[in-house]
Amino acid sequence: MRPSSTLSLLALGSVAQAAVSLEDSSLSPREIENIERAIEARSLADDIWNDIKNAATCTACQGILVLLKGIAVFGDGAFVSVATELCKLAKVEDDDVCEGTVGLEGPIIADAIRNMDLGSDTSKLFCGSFLGLCPEPSVPQWKIPFPSPKPQTGRPAPSGKTPLKVVQYSDIHIDPLYVSGSSSNCTKPICCRPYTAADEPGKSTSPAGPNGDHKCDTPVGLEISMYQAIKNIVPDAALTLFTGDIVDHAIWNTSQPYNQKQISDAYTYMSQYLGIVYGTAGNHESNPTNAFPPRSISNSSQWVYDALSDQWTRWVGASAESEIESIGAYSTKYPNGNLRVISLNTNFYYRMNFWLYQEDIEQDPDGQIQWLVNELDAAEKAGERVYIIGHMPLGEGDAFHAGSNYLDQVVNRYSSTIAAMFFGHTHVDHFEVSYSDYNSRDASHAVMASYICPSLTPTSGMPSFRVYDVDPETFAVLDTTTYIADMTNADFQTTGPVWTKLYSAKETYGSKLNPPVTDASVELTPAFWHNVTALFESNSDVFNEYISLKSRGWNVASCTGDCKTQELCQLRAGRSENNCVVPSIGLHLNKRSDELHGHSHHRSHDHQECGMSAGMKTLGSLAVRKDLLDELESRANELKAKA
Ligand SMILES: *[C@@H]1O[C@H](CO)[C@@H](O)[C@H](O)[C@H]1NC(C)=O
Ligand SMILES: *[C@@H]1O[C@H](CO)[C@@H](O)[C@H](O)[C@H]1NC(C)=O
Ligand SMILES: *[C@@H]1O[C@H](CO)[C@@H](O)[C@H](O)[C@H]1NC(C)=O
Ligand SMILES: *[C@@H]1O[C@H](CO)[C@@H](O)[C@H](O)[C@H]1NC(C)=O
């Protein structure tokens, strides 16, 4: 560490002490006076800025934390008010979005910051996630104890019997306040609401059609159209997987009753149109968005679990109720075959669930991993096949390395019992491969495939759903076919969305492998998916086709060089520490209007589509805007002077 950094850290340390002690007043007046003199003598903001310029970014972040603590100790109100002001100054969102979002998530961030120790792993995790200034701390070792050794038997061979159909859709993000004819051109996270008089139908120069727009969430008509299409195209579906996110992206204006109604309405429609639906908890189901506190901290998300339980028990039975109500997860037996579906609450490993930034970080929030191990072990002993479903894919940049590492150990142990894993959250069409050895990521070490279903909401591509052909005995996935409603189709806004097949994995990828994998009865094994990544690597035409399919042909950006390397690395990362994502300083700071739409091609920490946070963007801007740092410092000093 350079001398100036050491000096500034010493000064920072004292302010942190002062900040903490102002609350418990354990410092003597003389000590406080000394600290105040030390602060007056130099500007912390200047030191922090120098550290950032000199690439001492993690040190700089600890300094920013000192300033934030200096605000947070004065209470949630003080923190929310300063953070809202900074959000507006930074112009990360419109003023009303800043007020609403920071008002909702600010108290959770303030709670974490107040309790955070400088230099701790929690503080580094925070600095990495919010400001992009520290690398993620290495995973605290936890070798998960398993009740039984892994059996020698591998994945069972397909039975060759007539396949079943399994449907998946995800990220429906229904906007009940969507108004046809209102403006689709706005500066908020979603448009197609008459936010101002000029946005009203008849006034706007960019009127939204009735059935959806890429700058808006899903109108109810588009939602119903998808359920009807599923019913028509797959009348014989055995079961449906819905991988979460019901509520719209107007996250500055959600509330508990609003979200409860969205959850209830969506599952009611599903129950009217579809057979068995297995759901999972999306990060948008909660209010504030993303807020899922472990029970050891708070039971404030109890209402979400209760709301989900009320809906899910019609399909998973009353026996699953207690697990849903306690951790938002369940394990249930499919009634018509030898399959168990385990739905995980992945919000416990989600970077934007600010309740997780505790001192100390919980190793296994609410014991979900331990519970999962017990469920899988019982399933294995009973000879059952298992599908794991969840909202956030476990290899994403959004997934904490620690939780992802622990779950990867479980997936490796039970890789002969788990037939496949299914997720959503990213809104794009892709997959992730898990390996038994991440230093040898090849076909022989591939142990699991995660299927990531593109969204219904059109914000990052054409509205989509998937159909899997699966073996009726082993539940192995034999093929996947993705359907879309093409929004460029002239009929889309008039006679209505037309749902058509976009592609199938065997036709588009399997046929180009060497040797080809096209036989209808052959499983798409983890090794198959690894081989597809190798095909992408060597064949740029197939890779470009994949990139185009990711957003279902909409706003396709070219992906070569580093972009391609990053993309391949992500596909080969069922475990997030191996996804090659590195935090970038300040993360992303522009509001939606400035962002390239349809960008969602795995930029590092691309939260825009999955769960935006004005608080995160605001704090991130402190790492790139000296004027905001100065403002933060002067607010901290003002509060201290008043105390
Ligand atoms: C969207 O609104 C902005 C600001 O009002 C305007 O400059 C732009 O031309 C509009 N774009 C379209 C496509 O109407
Ligand atoms: C906020 O939500 C309420 C319903 O909870 C709705 O009446 C209001 O129009 C919404 N405001 C905006 C700006 O969308
Ligand atoms: C949450 O916990 C508090 C006590 O900590 C209890 O009074 C309250 O009833 C609980 N709420 C729910 C919904 O379980
Ligand atoms: C994957 O590729 C390897 C090497 O080309 C080949 O031996 C293996 O059979 C392939 N596996 C599958 C499932 O296609």
Q: Is the CB of 528 under 6 A from ligand 4?
A: yes
Q: Are 392 and 350 in contact (CB under 8 A)?
A: yes
Q: Which ligand is nearest to the CA of 325?
A: 3
Residue nearest to atom 13 of ligand 4 (CA): 528
Paired residues of 339 in beta bridges? 385
**Closest C-alpha among 499, 43, 470 to residue 232:** 499
Q: Is the CB of 533 under 6 A from ligand 4?
A: no
pLDDT at residue number 122:
96
Q: Are 302 and 327 in contact (CB under 8 A)?
A: no
Highest-pLDDT range among 435-444, 578-587, 594-603: 435-444
Q: What is the pLDDT of residues 497-541, one digit of tens each?
A: 999 999 999 999 999 999 999 999 999 999 999 999 999 999 999
Spell out the residues 6+ positions from residue 177 whose beta carbon is closer than 8 angstroms to its own. Answer: 193, 248, 250
Pocket test for ligand 3, best of 297, 299, 325 (most atoms within 8 A of CB): 299
Q: Is residue 173 part of a domain?
A: yes
Q: Are 297 and 305 in contact (CB under 8 A)?
A: no
Cα–Cα distance measured from residue 555 to residue 599, given in angstroms and rounded to the nearest whole number:
8
Cα–Cα distance measured from residue 283 to residue 396, given in angstroms and rounded to the nearest whole number:
14
Q: What is the pLDDT of residues 47-105, one digit of tens each?
A: 999 999 988 899 999 999 999 999 999 999 999 999 999 999 999 899 999 999 999 99
CA of 190 to the centre of ligand 2 (A): 13
Residues 526 and 620 in one domain: no
Tokens found for residue 458:
């059109």
Pocket test for ligand 2, best of 177, 186, 193, 256 (most atoms within 8 A of CB): 177
Residues 363 and 490 in one domain: yes
CA of 581 to the centre of ligand 4 (A): 28
Q: Is the CB of 185 under 6 A from ligand 1?
A: yes
Q: Which ligand is nearest to the CA of 303?
A: 3
Residue nearest to atom 14 of ligand 1 (CA): 206
Q: Which ligand is nearest to the CA of 190?
A: 2
Band of residue 27 on the pLDDT scale cut at 50, 70, 90: low
pLDDT at residue number 610:
47
Q: Is residue 296 part of a domain?
A: yes
CA of 99 to the centre of ligand 2 (A): 14
Q: Is the CB of 443 under 6 A from ligand 4?
A: yes
Instruction: Tell me the residue range of the domain where 124 lies.
Output: 3-135+607-642
Distances, alpha carbon 78 to alpha carbons 72, 73, 87, 118, 626, in Å: 7, 8, 14, 21, 21
pLDDT at residue number 317:
95
Residues 499 and 377 in one domain: yes
Residues 169 and 67 in one domain: no
Which residue has 């060597």 as its token pair? 538
Q: Is residue 551 part of a domain?
A: no
Chain CA centroid to CA 50, Å: 33
CA of 64 to the centre of ligand 1 (A): 37
Which residue has 């920072």 as its token pair? 12
pLDDT at residue number 633:
95
Residues 52 and 131 in one domain: yes
The CATH number covering residue 283 comes to 3.60.21.10
For helices 57-72 and 95-115, what crossing angle results, to 10°? 100
Side chain identity at residue 541, one-letter code: D
Q: Which ligand is nearest to the CA of 179?
A: 2
Tokens found for residue 503:
């592609």
For residue 266, which phi and psi values (nearest 5 degrees)?
-65, -50
| DSSP state letter for 449 | E
CA of 52 to the centre of ligand 4 (A): 47
| 34-38, 334-338, 470-474, 596-600: the lowest-pLDDT one | 596-600
Residue nearest to atom 2 of ligand 3 (CA): 299
Q: Is the CB of 299 under 6 A from ligand 3?
A: yes
pLDDT at residue number 22:
41
Distances, alpha carbon 36 to alpha carbons 16, 61, 608, in Å: 12, 21, 40
* Residue 8 scores a pLDDT above 80: no
Residues 130 and 170 in one domain: no
Q: Is residue 341 part of a domain?
A: yes
- The residue count of the chain comes to 643
* Residue 583 scores a pLDDT above 90: no
Distances, alpha carbon 234 to alpha carbons 17, 79, 224, 288, 400, in Å: 63, 51, 15, 36, 36
Q: Is the CB of 525 under 6 A from ligand 4?
A: yes
Domain end position, chosen among 540, 557, 578 = 578
CA of 185 to the centre of ligand 1 (A): 6
Q: Give 433-436's long-range contacts (Cβ < 8 A, gap of 24+).
A: 433/526, 433/529, 433/530, 433/533, 433/571, 433/572, 433/573, 433/574, 434/395, 434/408, 434/526, 434/574, 434/575, 435/572, 435/574, 435/575, 436/412
pLDDT at residue number 42:
66
Q: Which ligand is nearest to the CA of 191?
A: 2
Q: Is residue 256 part of a domain?
A: yes
Number of domains in the chain: 2
**Closest C-alpha among 445, 467, 452 to residue 531:** 445
Q: Is the CB of 206 under 6 A from ligand 1?
A: yes
Q: Are 349 and 400 in contact (CB under 8 A)?
A: yes
Q: Is residue 100 part of a domain?
A: yes
Q: Is the CB of 187 under 6 A from ligand 1?
A: no
* Residue 592 scores a pLDDT above 70: no
Band of residue 570 on the pLDDT scale cut at 50, 70, 90: very high
Q: Is residue 508 part of a domain?
A: yes
Residues 118 and 168 in one domain: no
Percent of the chain with pLDDT over 90: 86
| Cα-only R_g, the chain | 25
Q: What is the mean pLDDT of the chain?
A: 91
Residues 629 and 508 in one domain: no
Domain end position, chosen among 578, 593, 616 = 578
| Residue ranges at the known binding site for Zn(2+) | 171, 173, 245, 283, 391, 425, 427
| 287-291, 401-405, 607-611: the lowest-pLDDT one | 607-611
Q: Is residue 523 part of a domain?
A: yes
Residues 126 and 10 in one domain: yes
Residues 332 and 475 in one domain: yes
* Residue 600 scores a pLDDT above 50: no
Compute the average pLDDT of residues 581-585.
85
Band of residue 643 on the pLDDT scale cut at 50, 70, 90: confident
Q: What is the pTM of this model?
A: 0.92
What is the atom index within ligand 4 of the atom nearest the CA of 525? 13
240 against 592, higher pLDDT:
240
Q: Which ligand is nearest to the CA of 534?
A: 4
* Residue 595 scores a pLDDT above 60: no
Cα–Cα distance measured from residue 63 to residue 44, given in angstroms and rounded to the nearest whole number:
7
Compute the average pLDDT of residues 597-621.
59
| Residue ranges at the known binding site | 171, 173, 245, 283, 391, 425, 427
Q: Is the CB of 115 under 6 A from ligand 1?
A: no
Q: What is the pLDDT of residues 457-512, one digit of tens each?
A: 999 999 999 999 999 999 999 999 999 999 999 999 999 999 999 999 999 999 99
DSSP 465-505: EEEEEE-TTT--EEEEEEEEE-TTSTTTTTT---EEEEEEH
**Closest C-alpha among 526, 358, 389, 516 to residue 446:** 526
Residue 607, CB half-sphere, CA atoms under 13 Å: how many?
29
Residues 508 and 423 in one domain: yes
pLDDT at residue number 593:
33
Residues 289 and 388 in one domain: yes
Pocket test for ligand 1, best of 183, 184, 185 (most atoms within 8 A of CB): 185
Which residue has 């209760």 as its token pair? 306
Q: What is the 3-state secondary structure (H, E, C) of 44-82?
A: HHHHHHHHHHCCCHHHHHHHHHHHHHHHHCCCHHHHHHH
Burial, 382: exposed, middle or buried (Cβ in 10 Å; 0-12, 13-18, 19+)?
exposed
